[in-house]
Amino acid sequence: MAEVANSKEIPQVEQKTINGKKNKANAPKKRADANAANGAAKATKAVIAKQTFSQKLGSDLADGLLKDSRSLEESMNLVDRVTFVKASTAKNDTPTTTIVTATAIQEQAEIVISGEILDPEVAVDVLRPKNPRNIFDLDDFAALSALEELIGKYGRVSHMGILDKSYTFFITEDRKAALYYKVKDKIAIVGGDPLCDPSLFPQILSEFEKWRKKQSLGIAFLAAGQTFVDYARKENWTTMCFATERVLNPMTNPVLQGTAGKSIVRTTKNLLDSKKEGITLEVYTPRLGKNPRLQQQLVDVYEEWREHRNGLKDRNQAYITVYDPFALPELMTYIYTKDRTGTPNGFAALRILGANKGYHLDPYIATPGAPKGITDLLLYGAMALLNTAKISYLSLGYEPLDDLGEITGIPNVVAKMSRKVHKRIFQGLHVAGKKGYHDKFRPDETQQSNLYLVFPPGIPSLRHMTAIVHVANIKIHKVIFKKPPTAAVENEKEKEGNESVSDQGQSSAATSTERL
């Protein structure tokens, strides 16, 4: 039977070989297709093999946030975002070399199981709030839930004060709108736009006005955005452009893509090199399970940084918030560095900006004794993580203008006077180093926006102006009546400020949290 089969097969092959001109014509095409397929496979492997440093870094950090896959494309929570992105590309994933020690979910689970979190004494004593309330009702929880939802949906960079316990929240009776404020000089200074749909601006301002009148308080807005300013101008309120919001685009950033900022990338690699500085970069989100010990360590980093910053001599500081970094953990993700002993020596906090479909990076700081470049590493790592999560908006916060921008609602003579006062104040605050530090990371000018001071109709009173200055903790007598430094001295101070920003984690002093 085998011989019969062979005798039938051979003529068929010979017939195709001799008479199959079509076969001969198709042979080169088949070889070309095979070569193309092999080439595509090699190209795919090459792309994977040539995964950039920033891509690996972002992927490693994202691994620390992964959870069960579900429909998460529209979520702004980083845990959800990276899970969605990773799940979408899982079929093409291949193992890559780990550059950093990322906090995996398994490690988070081990922390919980170990009892470190479940120990009642540890959980209570690590972070004890000052003057805690003892009595609550269901209305308190309902209001808090509504407030978190509004912050998550309408939050902007100017709402950073939500993490500062010195600010107070006001929420409408129907819980569809809110704002937060601090009282100075009998003026309620509201941070940013009201947290609501613009159509509800009249409602919340009306309800807040009724409450203010009972307290005999005036009102002003600090760092309002264009949406609220458009409304205020229709109501003939006074507006003054005093700052800009600088924004990085992690999806197109040239530093992250390796076409700019070579020194930043080099420093970052050296810090993560186990043979050099041996720094590890990890990510923590309370949503995966709270770690009180780690949170206390990061709070200690923050307090140590603040103590060092406040101890700097001859450096007038302006700041509008002092953070409780873990006040609203559901809105936050934290990237932190550890030294060879496993002790945290720097961290960056990422807060959801629902209105911008992005994040605000603030603070990003390092302890005074940390290696040079830690804050660069934190910022670079934040961009890499957001790039992995396909998020294109990373706000660096306020950047004050040397001169006031557009002013509306007041006579020209008053506007000119306001410009002179503003210029004199900010000459004494040494904020030029902030712009220089931001410029290193190539902000996206197309996403930059203006921030405004907004006052009720008419010429703002002296009380309004002093209240704004006091909210920023600016000591007027030191910056107004102090003799302006010479150009040489000023340049030297700004040079020192830039070095301090880069070397010892002072970048947050140059960001919106602690300094204007």
* pLDDT at 101 exceeding the cut of 80: no
Question: 83 or 332, which is more confident?
Answer: 332
pLDDT (tens digit per residue) in 27-63: 555 565 666 556 555 554 544 456 788 888 888 888 8
Cα–Cα distances in angstroms (integers) from residue 56 to residues 78, 269, 381, 398, 476, in the given order:
17, 12, 10, 30, 48
Rounded to whole angstroms, the Cα distance separating 298 from 126 reads 12
pLDDT of residue 426: 73
Contact 106, 285 (CB under 8 A): no
Q: What is the mean pLDDT of residues 259-273?
A: 96
3-state secondary structure of 16: helix
Residue 315 buriedness (CB in 10 A; 0-12 / 13-18 / 19+): middle
Report domain extents, the chain: 145-245+399-427+446-474
DSSP code at position 136: -
DSSP string, 67-125: ----S-TT--SHHHHHHHHHHHTGGG-------S----HHHHHHHHHTTTTT-HHHHHH
145-245+399-427+446-474 belongs to CATH 3.40.630.30 = yes
Question: Which is it for the CA torsion 277, 59, 354, 128, positive or negative?
Answer: negative
pLDDT (tens digit per residue) in 170-225: 999 999 999 999 999 999 999 999 999 999 999 999 999 999 999 999 999 999 99
Q: What is the reported pTM? A: 0.74
pLDDT (tens digit per residue) in 108-152: 333 232 233 333 333 333 334 456 667 777 788 888 889 989 999
Q: What is the mean pLDDT of residues 288-308?
A: 92
Q: What percent of the chain has pLDDT over 70?
A: 66
Beta strand 187-191 with 218-224: parallel, antiparallel or unpaired? Answer: parallel
Rounded to whole angstroms, the Cα distance separating 501 from 511 reads 10
Please enumerate in sequence order all residues whose Cβ is within 8 A of that of 290, keeping only pairs 6 or more positions apart, or say none: 117, 329
pLDDT of residue 422: 85
pLDDT of residue 122: 36
Please enumerate in sequence order all residues whose Cβ is within 8 A of that of 77, keeping only pairs 6 or more positions apart, or say none: 287, 352
pLDDT of residue 99: 32
Averaged confidence pLDDT in the chain? 78
pLDDT of residue 503: 40
Q: What is the mean pLDDT of residues 272-299?
A: 93
DSSP code at position 497: H
pLDDT of residue 265: 96
Beta bridge partners of residue 170, listed in sequence order = 179
Rounded to whole angstroms, the Cα distance separating 273 from 278 reads 5
Contact 368, 305 (CB under 8 A): yes
Range in 134-143, 219-228, 377-386, 451-460 the model is least confident about: 134-143
Length in residues, the chain: 516
Question: Which is it for the CA torsion 395, 397, 401, 405, positive or negative?
Answer: positive
Q: Which residues of 475-507 are buried (b: 16+ CB within 10 A; e: fewer)?
A: eeeebeeeeeeeeeeeeebbeebbebbbbbbbb
Range in 182-191, 381-390, 400-409, 469-478 the model is least confident about: 469-478
* pLDDT at 332 exceeding the cut of 80: yes
